[in-house]
Structure 1
């Protein structure tokens, strides 16, 4: 690889056991790849101490606290208070999530909604953005957002690991949400994701790995890691007809703005001009 422009991996899971044996090597690779910041998502409360320890170990890491829609068994009556206390105890908590709806692997919509709504309320109470997982569930998610908007609620956050249609993307954009592209955007047959990457506004997209999952081409099928976010950015740049430097600068600035992540952009070369 040539010298890398600064990048932000806006969604990772390095607390998972797949990284137990070589995390220092993984960190050296993400730093070499130019990754200045990482946002670590949380799938259930027992992860929080481990993620906090990672933030102690890697100063470039910030994290969310939340419960994933497929982890309903970890939701208890006191979970909102557990999340509230965790967020209040560490300024490195910059989001609530990942939360959301998943009707691809489950059908318990009512149970997922009962867990989602209190987390959205908590994020609004704390003034934090949300990390939204939404798989085969755009319709009920949009219905919920509309109900909440009609009731005077606000939302800020990101549709993580975007895999929906362009029409769905524009619907979520209309609520002020950002769109984050993962390794899926590098898959040859992901035509709707490609269209979304072409259509998303300059100031509303992020890039991520969702590691250890969804490793991008050319490492598809292998363990993913934060350094691989560069391949995601390269493919987004290709789809948008832009340079890697432009996409790295824009996606990182967007992620830094949304989640208050550390980011020091390189000076913009004089010959780049306006970003299209």
Structure 2
């Protein structure tokens, strides 16, 4: 890749385990007035790196400006399946140029399929496919949004795998079944758990959290959405990823230190994050 390089980040000594929020959205108005406080809270909570997801190209300048301001922030470029109206003929070129211009772009997305809030599946596929192609071209992982659409997503990715064109990546904000999860794991994808894993009735997500291999999961907030228990219904923020990791530890019968070490190492590996001095997942 060309363009601005991403300097290495040295993890300070924290009394809490080092964590990575692998999916967040900060370019929202509800962060305008207290972002500095939000930044201090995630640093105090041991969050050493964040990945800011992009939902459409108009966001890219604002996300880039945040990365200029926040050294531990990396980001993706892409178009969300619920934002198909923002797709233009030149969008692939716009995304390619943005990714090649800045070494802090570490993924393509947030892309995917959503049959829960939309019925235009073919339109979604039409903008999904060139983004998957771009990820393969640039050797970047994808961040996949998949809601009530596991079957068509698996079909698309399996066809690509048979042709050697399936990118690496992560199923973000996982809410599927263990059987669906196995399908995506077989494709080499990672599974990311958000605040929904703390919800009492999210039994399928709990089962997935117990079953996912130690080297195949991430933790995220998807903030400002889906604040974890005990802050459910409030604005979510990156420091709350600690609550996600704590719930994962309970479900897996592990310590918070173990979950933090594995999820952090997995995020560093997938996104090639320039974070040093992190614990090893064993």
Check whether TM > 0.5.
yes
Aligned to 1:21: 33
Find the residue that maps to 1:224 and give its secondary structure: coil
> Would you say the 8 A contact 1:35–1:226 is kept in 2?
yes
Aligned to 1:119: 131
User: Which aligned pairs between 1:190-269 and structure 2 lie closer than 5 A?
Assistant: 190-265=202-277
Residue 231 of structure 1, CA deviation: 0.1
Find the residue that maps to 1:189 and give its secondary structure: coil
- Structure 2 length-normalised TM: 0.93
Please list every run of 5 or more consecutive structure 2 residues that lacks an aligned counterpart in the other structure.
Answer: 1-13
Aligned to 1:152: 164
1:14-48 Cα distance to aligned partner (Å, 9 max, x none): 11111111100000000000000000000000000
Q: Among 46, 68, 79, which residue is 2:80 paired with?
A: 68
Please list every run of 5 or more consecutive structure 1 residues that lacks an aligned counterpart in the other structure.
Answer: 269-273
Equivalent-residue separation in structure 2 for 1:127 and 1:264 (angstroms): 22
Residue 151 of structure 1, CA deviation: 2.4
> Would you say the 8 A contact 1:36–1:262 is kept in 2?
no
Find the residue that maps to 2:261 and give its secondary structure: helix
Q: Among 181, 188, 200, which residue is 1:169 paired with?
A: 181
Find the residue that maps to 2:275 and give its secondary structure: coil
Aligned to 2:121: 109
Residue 154 of structure 1, CA deviation: 2.6
Q: Following superposition, which runs of at least 4 residues in structure 1 exceed 4 angstroms of deviation?
A: 265-268
Equivalent-residue separation in structure 2 for 1:221 and 1:95 (angstroms): 29
Residue 260 of structure 1, CA deviation: 1.5
Q: Among 62, 66, 90, which residue is 1:78 paired with?
A: 90
Residue 53 in structure 1 maps to residue 47 in structure 2:
no
> Would you say the 8 A contact 2:107–2:142 is kept in 1?
yes
Equivalent-residue separation in structure 2 for 1:29 and 1:91 (angstroms): 26
> Would you say the 8 A contact 2:265–2:278 is kept in 1?
no
Find the residue that maps to 2:170 and give its secondary structure: strand
Find the residue that maps to 1:67 and give its secondary structure: coil
Equivalent-residue separation in structure 2 for 1:249 and 1:27 (angstroms): 21
Equivalent-residue separation in structure 2 for 1:252 and 1:48 (angstroms): 25
Q: Among 94, 98, 109, which residue is 2:110 paired with?
A: 98
